[in-house]
Amino acid sequence: MAKLPTPDELSKINYKPPEKRWVNTPAEFKDGFWCFGTRPKYLQAVDMPNPREWKPIEDDWKLPENWKEIFLEGFAERLKKYRSFRLFMDICVRCGACADKCHFFLGTGDPKNMPVLRAELLRSVYRNYFTTSGKLLGKLAGAREITFDVLRELWYYAFQCTECRRCSVFCPYGIDTAEITIICRELLNLLGLNTDWTMGPVANCYRTGNHLGLEPHTIKSIIESMVEDIETITGIKIEPTFNRKGAEILFITPSGDLFGDPGTYTCMGYMMLFHELGLNYTWSTLAAEGGNFGLFTSNEMAKKLAYKIYAEAKRLKVKWILGGECGHMWRVWNQYLETWHGPTDFLETPVSPITGTKFDYTSSLKAVHIAEFTADLIKHGKLNLNPSRNDYLKVTFHDSCNTARGMGIFEEPRHIIRNVCNHFYEMPENTIREQTFCCGSGSGLNAGENMELRMRGGFPRANAVKHVHKHYGINMLANICAIDRAALKPLMDYWVPGVEVCGVHELVGNALVMKGEKERTTTLRSEPLPEKEAKENV
């Protein structure tokens, strides 16, 4: 009888990764897992250092000759400036509680995506230059020099962290790896090593006030095109105002709501609501962007880009700011703005003109998240809602990292959804609220070229959606963040086809019964309302 081939002879693929310690395994740049390097013109536009053409995949990054010096000086400066950063470098006891909490680790299986190891990439450099034990004992104390390979590795993994802070929820010491990534990216930016996808919006925003670099008249015409759509759907003509001095409220939303599908339907929802309330508000075509990719670049840049909104509020002499459904816009406002610019004493503590509710908690910032504003309206019974118009939807809610972990907005969007929809189901507990899984595309990682990475990073989120899709027939994933609306769409398309993505105010717009409206036959997406369609076909 013929000799049986051994199993290994048939499948001669080497499955096992190299058995080396992580320090000795240089980062392998896999296609689809990294973003393109920034074009020099974007850096030049905002006076950032070391602009040049460079490609992350190439061996020569055309670094300035003294790059190590620049890097280490920047490091030292930040250790001095941010006490939290120094603390985070020092106090990790490597207990591992955070290790399996990162969606990138859970989706990629790459150990360097464990938050503890991600931080260790930078911490090892810290030890080498800034601690006595590291200086004396070197490798033995877990220290390593900054070399080109180390720099590449820092870059590769700094752009595989969405700064979502899920890991920090589980760390007994409160170490926030997101902050470590933020500083790491700052250091990389000293060497001109940002990504194109982040730097483009930064440069555009600096020039025109929005990510796409659009002039005021284009912003206006986009909003007017939505007004036309609203009129077709409801028979009601809405007349928004632009740059109107003396309006009570300045409304700011990320530009994704203006340009991107499905954000635009959310935006139509806002406008319908404001019209119905007779709200005295204005758009600004100069500050037509709530998003701030400066946050993903450097503290300085975030500060520069954020101020235009308050400068606009001052110029237009409004009383307070109402902010649309956005995540990182709120992180910037809530966590950093006061430190940068002090209390905004030229505005007033927001009071809802409809319910009289005073939003005391924002007495310094003077800005209210629209989810809180609308939840308050519903609580006071101020809206005429017909949730059955959303009966064709089975909805679940994705908590956005920034509004959830950064602000604690958990109940408001749920309260709204329960009042505008009849079918709402939660995803499993360990994937929502504080423990929510990131969309996998935040912090400027929502580019096209790194789609594989995004699909992997978003996998834990998609896995939970898949579960409710299977058990309850969920077909709509609602959220209150513009990056989510853009990023969850391809994520669902890949992992859970049949699940659409929407902002909460799209659902509000559908359910809102407006005075004098014609009978609705379509949704805000101009798709026939299923029940109406069924009746017509009888």
What is the smallest separation between the CB atom of 258 and another protein, expressed in angstroms?
6
Q: State whether the Cα torsion 124-127-128-130 is positive or negative.
A: positive
Q: Does residue 483 bind ligand SF4 (CB under 6 A)?
A: no
Q: How many residues contact ligand SF4, by CB under 6 A?
A: 26
Rounded distance, CA 474 to CA 411, Å? 20
The structure tokens listed for 513 are 């019964």
164 binds, among ligand SF4, another protein, none (CB under 5 to 8 A by kind): ligand SF4
Rounded distance, CA 399 to CA 382, Å? 25
Question: Residue 282: helix, strand or coil by DSSP?
Answer: strand
Q: Does residue 461 bind ligand SF4 (CB under 6 A)?
A: no
Residues forming a β-bridge with 206: none
Q: Which is nearer to ligand SF4, 98 or 247 (CB)?
A: 98
Rounded distance, CA 489 to CA 498, Å? 11
Residues in contact with another protein by the rule CB under 8 A: 1, 4, 7-8, 10-11, 13, 15-17, 19, 22, 30-32, 99-100, 105-111, 114, 117, 212, 214, 218, 221-222, 225-226, 256, 258-261, 264, 428, 430-431, 446-449, 451-452, 455-456, 459-460, 463-464, 466-467, 486, 489-490, 493-495
CB 251 within 8 A of CB 282: yes
Q: In sequence order, which residues have a C-beta less than 8 Å from that of residue 159 and are 6 or more positions away?
A: 34, 35, 185, 195, 445, 450
Q: Is the peptide bond before 17 cis (omega within 30 degrees of 0)?
A: no
Part of the chain binding ligand SF4 (CB under 6 A), chosen from 159-167, 364-372, 429-437, 480-488? 159-167
The structure tokens listed for 501 are 């993505």
Secondary structure element (H or E) that encloses residue 396, with its range: strand 395-397
Part of the chain binding ligand SF4 (CB under 6 A), chosen from 7-15, 110-118, 137-145, 259-267? 110-118
Q: Give, as ranges, the residues between 170 and 199 that touch ligand SF4 (CB under 6 A).
A: 171, 173, 175, 177-178, 181
Q: Which of 166, 185, 366, 423 binds ligand SF4 (CB under 6 A)?
A: 166
Q: Which is nearer to ligand SF4, 57 or 91 (CB)?
A: 91
Tell me the CB-side half-sphere exposure of residue 438, using CA atoms within 13 A.
Answer: 33
What is the smallest separation between the CB atom of 88 and ligand SF4, expressed in angstroms?
8
What is the smallest separation between the CB atom of 453 and another protein, expressed in angstroms?
8
Rounded distance, CA 141 to CA 127, Å? 8
Q: Give, as ranges, the residues between 379 and 408 that touch ligand SF4 (CB under 6 A).
A: none
460 binds, among ligand SF4, another protein, none (CB under 5 to 8 A by kind): another protein
Secondary structure element (H or E) that encloses residue 471, with its range: helix 459-472
CB 304 within 8 A of CB 235: no
Q: Which is nearer to another protein, 8 or 536 (CB)?
A: 8
Strands of the 476-479 sheet, one edge to the other: 395-397, 476-479, 500-503
447 binds, among ligand SF4, another protein, none (CB under 5 to 8 A by kind): another protein
Vertex 325, ends 324 and 331: CA angle to 5°?
Answer: 95
Part of the chain binding ligand SF4 (CB under 6 A), chosen from 93-101, 328-336, 464-472, 492-500? 93-101
Q: Which of 104, 197, 259, 437 binds ligand SF4 (CB under 6 A)?
A: 104
The structure tokens listed for 15 are 């499955």
Q: Which is nearer to ligand SF4, 268 or 445 (CB)?
A: 445
What is the smallest separation between the CB atom of 17 and another protein, expressed in angstroms?
5
* Single-letter residue type at 159: F
Residues that bind ligand SF4 (CB under 6 A): 92-98, 101-102, 104, 115-116, 118, 161-167, 171, 173, 175, 177-178, 181
